[in-house]
Structure formats: structure tokens, C-alpha cells
Structure 1
Amino acid sequence: MDKKNYLLLPILLLFLSCKNEKAAPVLNSSNYLDILNEEFSGNLAYETTSFVEKYWRVVGNTGFNKSVYKIAEELEKAGFVKEDSATGSDILTYRIEKRPLKNPTWESVNASVKIVGEDIPLLQHSTNRNMIALNSYSTPKEGVTAEVVYIKDLKKLKDLDIKGKIVFVETDPRRIFKQAIVKSGALGLITYSNPSYLQPQKNSTSIQFRTIPLNEEVKSWAIAMSYKAKEELKAALLKGKVSLNVHIETNIYLSEELTIVADIKGNKYPKERLVFSAHIQEPGANDNATGVGVALEMATLTAKFIKNKRFIPNRTLTFLWGDEIISTNRYVKEDSIRAKDIKWGISLDMVGEDTQKTGGTFLIEKMPDPSAIWTRGNDKHTEWGGRKMKLEEMTPHYLNDFLIDKFKEQGKRANWVVNTNPFEGGSDHVPFLKRNIPSVLFWHFTDQFYHTDNDRIDKVSKATLKNVGVASLASAYTLLNGNDATAKSILENIETAGISRLKEEEKQSEIALQMGDSLSTQISIISAWKDWYIDSSKTTFDMVKDSRSHQQYIKETSKKIDSLSSTIINKLSKIQMN
């Protein structure tokens, strides 16, 4: 072989190899779920969850701050640059906001509770890390020993001599802290108040975390008990006087509040944005290390697509990690110009559960719709519960049904159960809604380990983390690059969902009339759902450029929904007359 040709051979082989290698497909609305199911592994989400769940996280404490810097480290690996050193051409940026805390932060270190005369501890921190109530102070190094007094009737508390004693009650310690500790001089509290949905007799070692007021004058403490410990203590008290030796070690110190915000800048409409919020604080794995982990893999995978020129978002995608509700509330309030352009907000909270272990199901908590007023049929509140709302509190928007449709599609692909619940509140979707920003919550309930020290990494499913991440990103990408065609597609979905809902409410109203409920109530319900869907159809204008043709589509949808509503009301009126 000629030497020149011999040297050219490797170059030729490399060229042929590159030519034959199939280029990675560009993402578009027709293949989002296909590609995301291939490339969202769930590995980073799970690894991050495992890192974060090791810590009992309160804003400003060691575990919270380590979690923030772990997120920052992974973002930088993915190509995000610090906002203060970014140039105008940088699409991927992040910042860590720092603010001094008004009140000291808190962290648990160690604890044990022993019945005097017994060798085995009643409780110990190594196996029950929720046993120390948040804001408890340390005891002396040698601990404290005092008689325990069981009080069944809390009304008698103010009349009892409990000074220097340990008060045992079956209620939340916050209810009695002021009377027992501040006014009556009790040494400390030992309490039990696990709700029934935790199945305490089955999960007998679970302790749901509790909080007491931070009181720098009395510097007292409270211990929360498991069902097992509570029963053991009650059994001991039946035999006579009981004293407890309590040792507590905590850290209470001044610190700063950290919030981390990552932006993926939109190409056409950078001011318009979708925000995913995942709170860091809480002591558990599912609550809410999973939200932190899923959001991080969503951000880093999107960065990969952008760097490889496989996805270009038209609108900005933002990820927010911080203190639940507080950080999100600040984000939507501190900059009124930015808040005006937040088009959608989504809360990722308890999104990685192994439901075979925890119970319940994955849920999309809807924006306030009529099911939060009239909860019937397949609509059910969770054990967390929600108040009955009013018509003026309704927030008609396409986001509910759009997300339900996207998540159900992923559910079919992955044999994954997706359900909904009426609005209940209590997480990072609330600040968005209070600022009239469409927002929902992704979560799981019932969870028999909710807020307990048995909410550990073994209750987390990588498959669930992946399903939530895939469906969330597919939904986000669709909205970020939404246009006239997207708006029309969503409008068609609203029409289908509206007709289905009205037919279901017709069935429920017929049942209600048979049970003696009033016709006027049924008319109110049907009318409320009609108004909800007609008003929701109008919100699809937010992605439309050709408003004239879309206006006609909305008129057609509204006419169909209004006509069906009138037909149902006439039918119900005839049933009532007969």
C-alpha cells in the first residue's frame, strides 16, 4: 500500500463512521415524550434525593445550606454560569440569594429518653430523628431527670402543680407550650399526636415531627413520641410514679437564608416564563428531597439539550429551590415587572414515592375549580383536607386540563397511576395563585410516612422520579414553545374535558335529586362548571398571535359547552317535575 494512502485510511474510516452515526433527534411537540423517556434516567434525581434526605433541613441550617451548594455544583457541571459573571449570550445562568435570618436557625444533634430504672431507652435519636421538637434547646450535658405527669384533660392543666416536672400529653406541644412551660414552669414536654392516616399501630416507631415556639428566655424543650413509646410510657405509669432521664443536644444559631434560582433563557420571549418551585426544608426523603432532585435533573437535562442544539425554548424556564412558600412568595412579590410575565407556576412536592410502600397515588392538585366547592363523584379530597371554597375564588384556566392530559399520556406509556384532587393548598403553588398566576401542585397522598422519621430513601422510587420528571418537562416544553397551533390543541382538549365533566355532573345531579337535594343546587353546579370551561377557553389567548381566527374557535367551543349545559339543566328540571 502507498504510504500516503496508508496515512489517509484512519481519516477515511473516521469520516465514514461519523457519516453513518445517526444524529440525535431535535425535540419538538411530536416527540417530547419519546425522547424524554429515553434520556431522563432518574439517576441524578435519585442521587440528589439520597444526598438531601440525610439532613434534617431547616432554612439556614447545615443540611439546608449543603443542599443548596450541592444543587449549585450540579448546575455548574451542566453548564450553568453564575448570574453575576454571565454575559448577554449566556442562556444558562443561576444565582444564590443570601439574606440574614431574623430568627436563629435550628438543627438536631442527639437525644435519648430513658425511664429511670430501665436499661433500654424509650427513644433515641439514632433511630428516631424526629423525636426532638423543632426549636428545642439542649439539656445540660448530663441530661435532666424529673417526674413525668400524664395529663388527659387539658382544661385542668392551668390548675395543676407541674413546676419542675415533665408534662406528658396526647396533643401537639404547641397547644400547651405557653401554659405548661412559660406560665406553669414545667421542665419540658413529652407528647404524642400522630394522626390516624399514618397508621401508627402498624408503623409503631414513626414520629411525625413537631415544633414549639422559640423561647430564648425559658430555653425549654419538647419530645415527640412514637406510638410504641407512648404505649410503653402509659404502661409504666399504670404501675406508679415514673421519672424520665432526658438528654437533648441541639444547635441554635444565627445564620442566613439561601435561595437558589436557575434560569434557562427563552429565545423569542425571554420575559415570559414558567417557574418550577421545589422547597428544600423538611426532614424527609419524599418530603421534599424528591422535589429537589427531580427539579435538578429537569434543569440539567434541559441544559444538555440546549448545548447540543436539540431544543431551543422560546420562553424562559426557571427553577427555584428554597424555603417552602416563603421563597416562592418572595419571588413573585419582590419584582412586580417579573411577576407580571410569569405565565405558569408549578410546585414539585413529594414527587418520588414508592406507592407500594407509602400508599396513596400521584396527584395533580388542581387550581381552584368547582370541585373545591362541590366535591362529589370521582373528585375526592385527600386526608390532608381542604376547606369548601366560594365561586368568587375560582380561577378558570386551561392549565388544569392541559397538565392532566399530558400526565395521563405518560401514565399510559409507563403503566403509572395519575389522579387529581381538588385544591387544598399548603405548598408552593399557593403564592403563585395569590398573585393570579396559574399554578398547580404535583404530589402524592396519602403517605403513611408523611412528616415522619420513616420517610427515608427506601420509600423513594426512581421510576416515579422519572415519570414525574418526564411528564413535567414534556408539559413545560409544550408551553414554553406554545403558539397558535398549541392554543388550538389545548382549546380542543378543554372542549373534550368540559363536555366530559358536564356529562359526569349530570349523572351526579340525577343521583342528588333522587336523594332529595334541591334542583337549584344542581343548576348552580352545572352552571358553575359551564362558566369554568367557557372562561378557561378564553385563557388560551396567552399563546396566540392570530387572535381573529382563535376568537372564532373559542366562540365555537363556548357555544357547544353552553348548549350542553342548557340541555342538562332542562333535563334535570323535567326529572324534578316528575
Structure 2
Amino acid sequence: MKANWIVLAGTLVLASACSVLMGQEKEDRTLLSQQQMTAIINEVSGERAMHHVQELVPYQFVRPTSEYQSHFREAEAMARMAKEYGFSNVAIEDYPTGQTWQPTVGELWTSSPKNSKIYDIHDIPESLASTNANGDISGDLVSVGQGAAADFAGKDVKGKFVLSLAPSGLAAIYGRAAAAGAIGVVGISAIGAGDRAVDYPNAVVWTTVVAQPNTAAWAVSPKVARELETMLNRGQKVTMRSITKSEQVPNKQEIVHAEIPGDGSTTQEVAIGGHLFESYIKQGANDDSSGCALTLEIGRAYLKLIAEGKLPRPKRTINFQWVQEISGTNAWFNAHPDKQKVIIGDLNFDMEALRLSQSRSFWILQRTPDTFPSYINDIAQSPMEYIAEVSRERVRYRATGYGASQPVESPNGSTDAFYIKVDKHYGSSDHVTYMQHGIPAVMFITWPDMWYHSSQDTPDKQDPTQYKRAAAVGTASLMALASGTDEMAARILSENIGRGLARMGESHTKGLGYMADATDAASLTDGYKEARIAVLHQAEVEKGVVTSASVLWTNADSGKQKTSAFLPLIDQRATELLSEVKAAYQLQALQRGVPAAEPVMTAQEKEAANLMVEGVARPGGLGGPGGGGGGGQRGAAPTGPQLPQEMNAEFAILLGKHKTALEIRDFLSGEFTPLPLADLMAVLHARETAGTVKLTVKAETPAKTGKAGKRASK
């Protein structure tokens, strides 16, 4: 009886566990089977990824000039490990780009009030901002406060060093100081300000300054800057001494490339990677040796699971790219123009595996911008949410015991929660470069990063558990992207359709909020207009997402036929949501005792609807699909009126889309929050005056129905 009872009890427990797993199978689904996800979770190793990053940047160092004559240590390490793991076609590619400077000696001292070495670049490589500086120079220190032009007024800085605590960056302050005859600048950087300066006062943030002969620029920590300022405030004479030596060396783009080959059934390929370099002076365990270490582990695990028969061999060849950020990706595409034609998607990993609780961070998926709607976002979001769900304790499953249903943790890692966030597009990494080549791409990134671009971006801040979780997400995403089967194409399309409905619901909720927040009849009518714009905008984005998925079918024409069938259904969704928006408008009007009049176009809107906007090409171009950095284009910032910073990257792209001013305004309002038309027109007219935008009145055409008619009748 006792033995039989034990058997029966065990059977009941097993049945209960299976019941829970069956429930989770429905809820915690991804594009892969649960069996495949479990195989991935079991194989990916946070420890191996940590080992990779420790091979790449065990500590920050002054690069010997000999590396410029051969290969950099990081490139050789990546290539060696990729070969050992069984990657194919592993190669280090070099593309010469002229000459650059590499510091070999750098010391910053105070000669008075006491003789003390503050920094040596062999201790803190980031401290020397002017990497082209040469000389042994000394001078008294003068504080210029925030370093603005007014702060220099009345101060004799000729032949002296200036101290600035401005978080606006050293380059501008150095320019003012050098123009006034100063021989050196000592200051902090913007990224080292704010909470980071309080929590990590000893961090020195990497920055670069092109110095004139016999001058130098030094980046110091907030603590050192305050100590120097305190001495000056006490009336002490502070004398600085800078000893620097830099050598000119041959510059290059160095790229490590490796592959997991497809089965030969398709010419399509995919890409994954991170930037191995971000300037050769600055090194960072998190930014971005971590992305390279992680994607190397993703490839290793994928190859092993294929060999064991736990995952199918991909049909699409996978390109692993470990590059100099942005410029290296461009160099590779320039050298391999055929790749732009065959790569259909890219997964970019930039800054991974920080200890999230220690850095107060989230692991974030940055989606493609609305100007580049794509199927690829949902490929990445699906396993990301799965790993987050199975990694947390869910009280509704506690009948079988407390804890996560499928813990994703490493032996030497933390048990931190897996804080994730799916966010809007932000640029400033290699995913933008892929989009500028017409290839959809997403970025995974950890933010905030308390040690970003600083002397404290070292491996001890990283967490094998977060590496393991990110590797599980990356491997699952990569398998779905590289699969190449019609079955997976249909699954991805279904994911796009389902998640697209949720995104349309979010735009609907946003629009309803505009009306709920109205304070009078005029703002209620404006809220109604903005609600319609939000819904219509998202509907167009979702149609773009579905259309983009056609490339996933083995027969592209068949894919177009299959995806196009859903476009009118999305329009139907939008029509239904607009009906709800109208009903909510009428309810809000009734509650306020005002008429629910249908809005009409204002004179300003009519004028904007008739004004074509074209960007004028200039050095650096207008961006292209996917835009530039998160804050707009690289290079000199435009002067005059500005849009909200989060809109600038999309605005730069829209300038090349042959749209009217009103269409640009509605697009930005739909993607973000309502943008006053007057604000946009002020920016457009200012840029027209500057010669970067051309505004032309449309030729009159007969009235027509359709999208424009919808906008006019609101």
C-alpha cells in the first residue's frame, strides 16, 4: 500500500506538472517550439560569453603601435575563437583609411601646490583626450566655470591651462581656450555628468579633441575636477604639467567576418553581430565587446545544436559581422556590394549583459522606425518576451512550488530579474547602416549604462546570467530569421498580424487619451483629429510590416500574394477603431455640453497640404531608410528652431520621401505625440533659408477622394 501510494502520488505530481506545462505551452509560445526553446536555453552559456569578453578586453590598455601594422588583438581573438567553434569562411579584412594618431606616453601632473601625478594613460587610457598631442608643457590653471564664451571674458588664459566643469564636452571648450591662447584644457564630459558623476565620481569618460601643436586636452573624473576647483577656490596656485607623445600610424577599418552556411536552397542571407571597435583608442567590455562576445556564443550554440539534430540547419547563410562601428559596416558593404542584394535582415547587439540591478537598466529591443516598417521586429520581440516570462516567478503557477517555471540563470551569474523593454527606434549603431542599405535591422541594447564610454567599462560590471538570457533570445531570433522555410514565413506573418493588432490598439488608446485630456471644446476637437491621425498612421505602418514579410517566402511572388490579402483587413480594423474614436468623441462632447462637430481643415493645414518638402543634398546625405543617430544626422547640428529631439531622425528621413508638409506633420504626430503644425513650419522655413530644404507649391490637380479626403473631412 505504501509503495502504491508513492507511485500514485508521483503520478499526480507529474500530471499536475504536465498540466502546467501544457498551459504554459499555449501562453508562452514563440516562433519556435517549446522543445527547441528548451534546447537553446540548455545550451547557451553565459560563462562562455564572459570568457569571450575577457579574451577581448580583460582590461583597458594603450594599444601598441605594432598592432596597426598587423591585426588588432581583438580581431585575432575573435577569428581564433570562431575557427575553434567551427564557423565557416572566417576572415579578418582590412581596409586602409590613411593615417591616425596613437598615444604612447601621456602623463598629467600638478607641479604646485604639490608635485603629484594625476593620470597616466597606461593606468587610464581614456584620460588623454587629445590623442595627437606631443610635448612637455606646463602652465598655471585657470577656472572657466561652464566654459561658455562669457566665462572666458576678462580672464587671461594665454599660456595657461583652463579647467571646465561643463558637461557640454571638451571639444567646444578646447576650441574657445585655444583661440584665447591657452595651452591646455582639463575637464569632464557630458556622459560623466548627472547621476553618473555622483555615483561613479572616479570614472573618466572617453572623448576626443584634435589639438593644435604644443597644446593638450585631458579628460578627468568629476572627483578630480572638483578637487582642482576647490584648490583654486581656496586661492592656491595650481600649476599643471602635461607630458605627451603620440605617433602617426596607418589607419584602417578592420573587420572580422564569419559564416554559418545555408543549405544552398536560397540565395538569401541574414546578418548578426556587433561592433568590435569604436575608435581603436577607446575600448569597452560592455560597449561593445559584449555584443561581439554574445553573438560569438550565439553562433557556437547554434552550430552545436545543429550538429546534435536539435535545431535544423538554416536555409539562409548567416553572416557574423564584428566591425568598427558604422564605418566598418559601410566599408564591408562597399567591398561586398553583392551582400546588400541578398541580406534580408540583421540583428545588432550593442552593449549587453550588464548587471541590470546595479546599473538600474533595462535590456531593450529598439524597433525599426515607422519610416521602415518591418517583419523583423516581431521576430526579435517574441523570444525576448518568452525568456522574460519563464525567468520570473509567476504566482498563478505556485501550486507546483515557488520559483520561475524555467529559470534562465548561469552558475556564476546573478538571480536578478530580467527587466526588458520594447522601445522605439534609436540609431547610433550598426543597425542604422543596414537600414541605410535597405536591410531591416533591430538593435538589442542595455540602457542606461552607468559606465558608458568610461574608464570603468570593464568586465566586472557584467553578468553571465544576462549573457545567457540574451544568448537564448538571440539564438531563437536568429533561427527564425535564417530558417528560410515557407512554414516559418507563415508563422512570422501570423506574429506580425497578431502583434500588429496590439500596436493598433495602443495607438487607439493613445488617441482616446488625447480626447480625455481635453479641457475645452477646441482642445477636444483637436484631440479627435489627433486620435484619427494616430489610428490611420499605425494602420499604414502595420500594412508596411505585413508587406515586408513577403520576402520570407521561397517564392517572392507567392509571398506578395499571401501578404497582400491581409491589407484590406487592416483597413477594416482601422475603420472599426475610427468608429470607436468617433463614438468616444461624441461621448466626451456630451459630457462637456459642447457640440461634437466634425473638424475641418484650417487655412494653415490647407497651405501645408499643398507644400511639397524636399531635402537638399549636402555632405553626409539625408540618411536613407532607417535614418541616422537617435538625435538626427551626424555632423553639424542645424541652427534655428528645432523639433523635439526624438523626432529628428525620422524627420531627416521624411525629407527624402516626397511628402507634403502636412503629411510630414501627421507622420511625426502619429508616431510620437502631436506636433504643432506651426512648429514644423518654423523649422522648415528656417532650413529653407539655410539652403538644406526646398519648399515648392504643388501644381493644382482635380479634387480626389482617398487618404487626402479622409484628412480634409475630419
Tell me, in whole angstroms, the C-alpha distance in 1 between the residues paired with 2:511 and 2:247.
57
Q: Which residue of 1 aligns with 2:359?
A: 358
Residues 476 and 131 from structure 1, CA distance in 2 versus in 1: closer, same or farther, beyond 3 angstroms? same
The answer to whether 1:224 aligns with 2:219 is: yes
Q: Which residue of 1 aligns with 2:269?
A: 273
Q: Report the 3-state secondary structure (helix = DSSP H, G, I; strand = E; otherwise coil) of the residue aligned with 2:218.
A: strand
C-alpha displacement of 1:188: 1.4
Q: How does 1:363-382 map to 2 (within 5 A)?
A: 363-369=364-370
The answer to whether 1:294 aligns with 2:294 is: yes
C-alpha displacement of 1:509: 2.1
C-alpha displacement of 1:551: 4.3
C-alpha displacement of 1:174: 1.0
Tell me, in whole angstroms, the C-alpha distance in 1 between the residues paired with 2:174 and 2:36.
53
Residues 567 and 113 from structure 1, CA distance in 2 versus in 1: closer, same or farther, beyond 3 angstroms? farther
Q: Report the 3-state secondary structure (helix = DSSP H, G, I; strand = E; otherwise coil) of the residue aligned with 1:101.
A: strand
Counterpart amino acid of 1:300? Answer: R
C-alpha displacement of 1:439: 0.7
The answer to whether 1:568 aligns with 2:580 is: yes
Tell me, in whole angstroms, the C-alpha distance in 1 between the residues paired with 2:64 and 2:138.
32
Counterpart amino acid of 2:437? Answer: R
Q: Which residue of 2 aligns with 1:450?
A: 452
C-alpha displacement of 1:511: 2.2
With normalisation by structure 1, the TM-score equals 0.81
The answer to whether 1:538 aligns with 2:539 is: no
Tell me, in whole angstroms, the C-alpha distance in 1 between the residues paired with 2:568 and 2:539.
14
Counterpart amino acid of 1:233? Answer: L
CA contact (8 A) 1:353 1:459 kept: yes
CA contact (8 A) 1:137 1:249 kept: yes
Q: Report the 3-state secondary structure (helix = DSSP H, G, I; strand = E; otherwise coil) of the residue aligned with 2:99.
A: coil
CA contact (8 A) 2:50 2:293 kept: yes
C-alpha displacement of 1:248: 3.9
Q: Which residue of 1 aligns with 2:199?
A: 202
Q: How does 1:141-540 map to 2 (within 5 A)?
A: 144-152=137-145, 154-156=148-150, 157=152, 161-171=156-166, 172-181=169-178, 183-195=179-191, 196-213=193-210, 215=211, 218=213, 220-240=215-235, 241-248=237-244, 250-281=246-277, 282-308=282-308, 311-369=312-370, 394-415=371-392, 416-516=418-518, 517=523, 518=526, 519-540=528-549
Q: Which residue of 2 aligns with 1:48?
A: 52
Give me the CA root mean square deviation: 2.8
Q: Which of structure 1's runs of 4+ aligned residues deviate more than 6 A?
A: 57-61
Tell me, in whole angstroms, the C-alpha distance in 1 between the residues paired with 2:95 and 2:238.
46
Tell me which of 76, 79, 85 is aligned to 2:83.
Answer: 76
Residues 356 and 250 from structure 1, CA distance in 2 versus in 1: closer, same or farther, beyond 3 angstroms? farther
Residues 191 and 556 from structure 1, CA distance in 2 versus in 1: closer, same or farther, beyond 3 angstroms? same
Tell me, in whole angstroms, the C-alpha distance in 2 between the residues paired with 1:520 and 1:59.
61
With normalisation by structure 2, the TM-score equals 0.66
C-alpha displacement of 1:138: 4.1
Tell me, in whole angstroms, the C-alpha distance in 2 between the residues paired with 1:457 and 1:548.
47
C-alpha displacement of 1:125: 4.4
Q: Report the 3-state secondary structure (helix = DSSP H, G, I; strand = E; otherwise coil) of the residue aligned with 1:103.
A: strand
Tell me, in whole angstroms, the C-alpha distance in 2 between the residues paired with 1:79 and 1:525.
49
Residues 366 and 551 from structure 1, CA distance in 2 versus in 1: closer, same or farther, beyond 3 angstroms? closer
Residues 346 and 452 from structure 1, CA distance in 2 versus in 1: closer, same or farther, beyond 3 angstroms? same
Moved more, 54-63 or 98-107: 54-63
Tell me, in whole angstroms, the C-alpha distance in 2 between the residues paired with 1:255 and 1:525.
48
C-alpha displacement of 1:574: 2.2
The answer to whether 1:558 aligns with 2:554 is: no
Q: Report the 3-state secondary structure (helix = DSSP H, G, I; strand = E; otherwise coil) of the residue aligned with 1:286.
A: helix
CA contact (8 A) 2:60 2:458 kept: no
Counterpart amino acid of 1:70? Answer: A
Identity, % of aligned pairs? 19
Asked which structure has the greater RCO (Cα within 8 Å, sep 6+), the reply is 1
C-alpha displacement of 1:360: 1.6
Tell me, in whole angstroms, the C-alpha distance in 2 between the residues paired with 1:558 and 1:161.
68
Counterpart amino acid of 1:299? Answer: G
CA contact (8 A) 2:539 2:571 kept: no
CA offsets 1:397-451 (integer angstroms, 9 cap, x no match):
1211231122111222233222122112111111111122111111011112111
Counterpart amino acid of 1:487? Answer: A
CA offsets 1:318-347 (integer angstroms, 9 cap, x no match):
111111001112333444332011100121
Q: Which residue of 2 aligns with 1:389?
A: none
Aligned length: 510
Counterpart amino acid of 2:507? Answer: E
Q: Which residue of 2 aligns with 1:16?
A: none
Moved more, 184-193 or 462-471: 184-193
CA offsets 1:51-70 (integer angstroms, 9 cap, x no match):
22224588988498100000
Residues 559 and 489 from structure 1, CA distance in 2 versus in 1: closer, same or farther, beyond 3 angstroms? farther
The answer to whether 1:118 aligns with 2:114 is: yes
CA offsets 1:364-411 (integer angstroms, 9 cap, x no match):
011103xxxxxxxxxxxxxxxxxxxxxxxx111121123112211122
Q: Report the 3-state secondary structure (helix = DSSP H, G, I; strand = E; otherwise coil) of the residue aligned with 1:283.
A: coil
Moved more, 203-212 or 103-112: 103-112
C-alpha displacement of 1:71: 0.7
CA offsets 1:258-290 (integer angstroms, 9 cap, x no match):
211112221134531111131112422111110
CA contact (8 A) 1:533 1:561 kept: no
CA contact (8 A) 1:534 1:561 kept: no
Residues 134 and 43 from structure 1, CA distance in 2 versus in 1: closer, same or farther, beyond 3 angstroms? farther
Tell me, in whole angstroms, the C-alpha distance in 1 between the residues paired with 2:317 and 2:62.
29
C-alpha displacement of 1:295: 1.5
CA offsets 1:136-191 (integer angstroms, 9 cap, x no match):
42443xxx33101111353144875433211212342211333423x443221111
Tell me, in whole angstroms, the C-alpha distance in 1 between the residues paired with 2:343 and 2:63.
28
Tell me, in whole angstroms, the C-alpha distance in 2 between the residues paired with 1:187 and 1:540.
58
Tell me, in whole angstroms, the C-alpha distance in 2 between the residues paired with 1:198 and 1:219.
35
Residues 50 and 134 from structure 1, CA distance in 2 versus in 1: closer, same or farther, beyond 3 angstroms? farther
CA contact (8 A) 1:114 1:123 kept: no
Q: Report the 3-state secondary structure (helix = DSSP H, G, I; strand = E; otherwise coil) of the residue aligned with 2:72.
A: helix
CA contact (8 A) 1:194 1:207 kept: no
CA contact (8 A) 1:526 1:569 kept: no
Tell me, in whole angstroms, the C-alpha distance in 1 between the residues paired with 2:75 and 2:263.
28
Tell me which of 90, 100, 104 is aligned to 2:100.
Answer: 104
Q: Report the 3-state secondary structure (helix = DSSP H, G, I; strand = E; otherwise coil) of the residue aligned with 2:140.
A: strand
